[in-house]
Structures are given as structure tokens and as C-alpha cells.
Amino acid sequence: MANTRPSYKDDFYEAINYDWLQTAVIPADKPATGGFLNLVDEIDQLLMKDFDKKAADLANVADPRLANYLKFYQMASDFAARDRLGADPAKGFLDQLEELDDFAKLQAALYPLSLKNTALPFQLYVSPDMKNAEMNTLYAAVPSLILPDRTYYEKDDEQTKTLLEAYRQMSEKILAAFGYPAEKAAATVQKALAFDRSIAPLVKSAEEASEYTKAYNPRDFAAFAAYSKFLDLGALTEKLLGQKPKTVIVEEPRFFEHFDELVNPETFENLQAWLIVVNVNSLTGFLSEELRQIGGEFYRTLSGAKAAPSQKKSAFYLANSFYNHVVGDYYGKTYFGPAAKADVIQMVQAMIKVYEDRLQKKEWLKAETRQKAVKKLSTLMIKVGYPDEIDPLFSKLIVDPQKTLLANALYFTELNVRNHFSKWNQPVNKKRWAMSADTVNAYYSPTQNEIVFPAAILQAPFYDFKQSKSANYGGIGAVIAHEISHAFDNNGALFDEHGNLNNWWTKEDHQQFDKLAEKMVNEFDGLPFAGQKVNGRLTVSENIADAGGLSCALEAAKSEKDPELQSFFENWARIWRMKSSTAYQQMLLSFDVHAPNKLRANIQLENLADFFAVYEIAPGDGMYRAPAERVAIW
């Protein structure tokens, strides 16, 4: 951060956000603050205030789904009861894990453990089939690592050692609270860490996983079942689905091909310890205040946050995690009006028209490819505000006041898991949203070929009736076009208008696109940030989307009467403002597919001739980039 305000010509992001950066305070319970995050805080405060009032008058809450959410929120907020119970609500679950001292017992427990969404040395889940997007199919995935990415284990530097030590200390304290003697706790955690380290070399890095189309590796069911000699993966799969599938999509074949090296009689003690440590650690947020505080120590070390969220906020987040679309439905219907929806839809349609015009003018695209790209654009589904319906499952999440908070949560989890696997081999419900309406974000789904803008992001600084059209285009307009651009990034471009993984490009056009994408990789790769460097390959899809989004939004803004391009550029820089701990910045650099906010703001501007003209930027200025070095794809 600069000590004096820099010139717009040298560091546009710092110049626009200078006053804010000088005075912004990172909340103690967060690792960062800024445009998106400030909005999240405002919505959290608004909803907590509303829900506290409603919880005090439950008899007058007409929606039974919301009433049950409020009961669960109240239960999560009752720390006096939680403190009286201490670790007791989770001891039965811990006892179950401790009894799994051989493969036969583990096999017998796999199904009930899966219904509790227990962390296992593999994951099964249902999602649209990438090559038949109308239907849901079964995927097999790898377990999560303790550290954020495989690259941490490869470095084995002081940062890695510090993080693993923080995890070790936290886990030993948690086991001590469950009655483990110090020596047993230490030995159990060491074995768990050994199992975690054995997994790491066989798991994709974030960079590898960012090419998500490479996760589509169909395997015959018998071949999938044969991955393990010691666990009957087939029997578990059949029980979860109710029948034998023909195929399983294996996300990371290399991991499963080496599965017997990871999970075998020689490694069983380490596996059991890993099951105990990882799963018991995940339950601390449902227990006493002491355990809640201990259970957040590793994340606070990792992110640089100084304190745990308040009891009130943690209860709010915990309840939302089970009733997210109930909360979103309330927020959308209460705070998002039809006028705003109509205006945003008009902006989306305008942006699609701009995109179509740009596609038609792309000289490097052959007519055949251009025609298919326009077809994909024309079938893009638009969702704004909040969904017309939410999953009927939410009506089944009925709180039992006689049970503990954790017992209710585990019951809700089982309902969720059963509901999730019931969708296997069923048509995809295209009315469902992946994000709830109170989420400050937006997304593009390649298998649905849809763009979704929850109500929460459709407000200042992104969108505001009170700010100019140009400012709105620099905010929500760029976000809208960003999501459209994902249909044509290095991953999304491989899906057709039906959402199927299906290469619709001519060979020559795709080669040219790859060359342009490589220029985007190089534009960001190796840039210094937070004492480390940006990975241009990890972030390329989001950088392509940012570039397409900003340039298309700019064109849309220019098409309006009396455009205010300074307002456009300034709001673009404003929405990315962020102040964060160094630890948080470094963590994001390791796995986040988005470039750091400041670089997202500045570098994309350096690719636009209009930006140079408006601010009279010339060679020698910090924001200058020679025309030959500017990257333009869409």
C-alpha cells in the first residue's frame, strides 16, 4: 500500500482506493475486508437483526421452513446449553470411529458413515454428466488435504512447518477435551498427519484441478470397484444408489490407481487416526465455546484472522449452512424488487447482444466456429434475484428440541445425503440454483449453460439505481459479462450450447484460442505479490473472463447516451478493493483460481485502449502497456 496517493497513471487501483485503504480496518474475525466482503458483512447484520426479531415471535412466522431455521438458529445460539454439554454430544461418534480397528469393521461402517457425510479416504457424489448434461451421474473424488494445496507439501518450508504445527497443536487440544491422555493424543495426531502426507503426492494441485474438464474419466463400475482390495467400494456404491451403476466418473485416476498403496493393512492405524482427527475436528463448531475456539485455531493461523467470529455470528453461519436456500428465499423476496430485476435482466440482455456483435467481428474465428459460438450464446439461460422454487428437502429439516444441536445437525446431514444420492440417474432439475439468493457472488454453469446473479450482489457498489449507468456497467455490468465470458474461457469453451463436453471448434480456431489463452497466462504468470508470485496457469480461466467481461461492459457503456467512462473505470477499481492479511493473500495464491484483486483491477485496464485515452497514459507511466503486449481474446 502506497504511503502517498499515487497517480492514476501509475497505479490506478491504489489511486482510486487510496483513502479507503488508509482507513479500512480488517475485522478481528476476518482475514480481509473490501468490496465483496463489506457487502457480506452488511447482509449478515441485516439478516441477524431480522431473524432475532422473528425468533422472538415464532408463533407469527408463517413459513414452517423459516420457523425451523429460526429454532435451529436459537439452538445454535444457546451457548449456555452447549457449554454444559461440552464434548459429550460428539463422544458417541468418536466411539464409533475408535471401534473401527480392522477392515471388516470399517467396511460395515462405510454406509452409516457416508450418511453422516464423514470424511473418508475417497469421496462419492452426484452431479450432471459432463457428456450428457440432462442427467445426473456418479463421480468419485479424492479426500481433502489438511493443507490448502499439494504444493505446500512439496515445498516443506517454514510456512508448511508452521501450519502443520498449528494443526497438530489444535488437534491434540481437541482430543484432550474428549478425554485422550496427552501421549495418546500426540500419537493419534502424528499418525493422522502421516496418512495425510501419504495422500498428498497423488492428489492434483490446484493448478492441475483448474482444468476441470480433465476430471471426466468414465470407468466401468467393475473397474472402479477393483481399485481397492481391502474396501468394497462397489458394495458401498450400490447401497448409496440403491442399484449398481454402469459407470463411475473418476476425477483423479492416478489417485485411485494407487489406492491400495494408501489404504492397506500396513497403513490402517494411520488411516483410523486420520478418520478420528479429521472428523472430530470438524464437529467442534457444534460443541462448547471452548471447543469452538480451539477448533478455529488452524484456520486463523492459515488465514491471519485474529479472532473467531462472535458466538452470535457463528450460530448464524452454522444455521445458514443447513438452511441456505430458506435464508436466501427470505432475503430475495424481502429485499429484491421487480424493478431491480427487470433492470438487471435488461443489462444482461444488452451484454449478450454486445457479446454477439463482438463474436461476429472476431476475424480469427472461422464462420463455422462463430456460428456455433453465437448459438451457444443465444441459448444461455439467465437467472436473476432468487429461484422460483427451492428443494422440497428444506421442508423436512424439522428441529427436535429434545435433541442436541449436533444430533439435529447429523439428522439433517443424513437427510441431505439421502436426498443427494436420490438424484443419481435422474434428470437434472434446471430450476435449482447452486447459490442462495443472499450470496454476494455470481456464477456460470458449463453443464447448464446458465448465468446466475443472486440478489445479494445486485446492489452498491456493483449496482445502484443512484449511480450512473456507466458506473453500473463498470460494476455489475462487468460481473455479468465476466460470467458470460466463462462460457468461452479455456474450460467453458469446451462445452456446447446443451452443456455437454463436446468440442465445437474447428482445429485451427481452437489452436488460435489456445495461443491467445497462453498470452493471458504469460501476462499474469510470475507477477510478485505478497512476497510470492502469481500462477498464471492457475488463474487463466478467471483472467480470460475478467478481460472479456471488462471489455464487453465497456462497449455496452459506450453505447449509452453520454457515457461517463471515468465513472466506469473508477467503479471497476472500486469493486475489487480489498485489504487483507499477508497470510490470507499467500493462502489464496496457492489455490485460488482468481488473481489477487489489485492485479485483477489494474492489469485488465492495461489491455484497453480507451483507458489509455481517458487518462492520457503514455510510455513511462506505471499503467502503460505497449499495444503489442496487450491481450484481447473476447
The CA distance from 19 to 553, in Å, is 26
Is 34 in contact with 579 (CB distance < 8 Å)? yes
Burial of 10 (0-12, 13-18, 19+ CB in 10 A): middle
Q: Quick one: cell of 304?
A: 491471519
Q: Which residues are catalytic?
A: 483, 546
- CB neighbour list of residue 239: distance below 8 Å, 6 or more residues apart: 111
CA distance from start to end of the chain: 32
Is 630 in contact with 606 (CB distance < 8 Å)? yes
The CA distance from 122 to 129, in Å, is 19
Please state, as a whole number, how many other Cβ atoms lie within 10 Å of the Cβ of residue 311. 15
Please state, as a whole number, how many other Cβ atoms lie within 10 Å of the Cβ of residue 458. 26
Please state, as a whole number, how many other Cβ atoms lie within 10 Å of the Cβ of residue 43. 19
Nearest residue to 583 via CA among 532, 527, 542: 532
Name the residue type at position 626: A
Burial of 298 (0-12, 13-18, 19+ CB in 10 A): buried
The CA distance from 78 to 74, in Å, is 6
- CB neighbour list of residue 292: distance below 8 Å, 6 or more residues apart: 284, 285, 308, 311, 314
Burial of 158 (0-12, 13-18, 19+ CB in 10 A): exposed
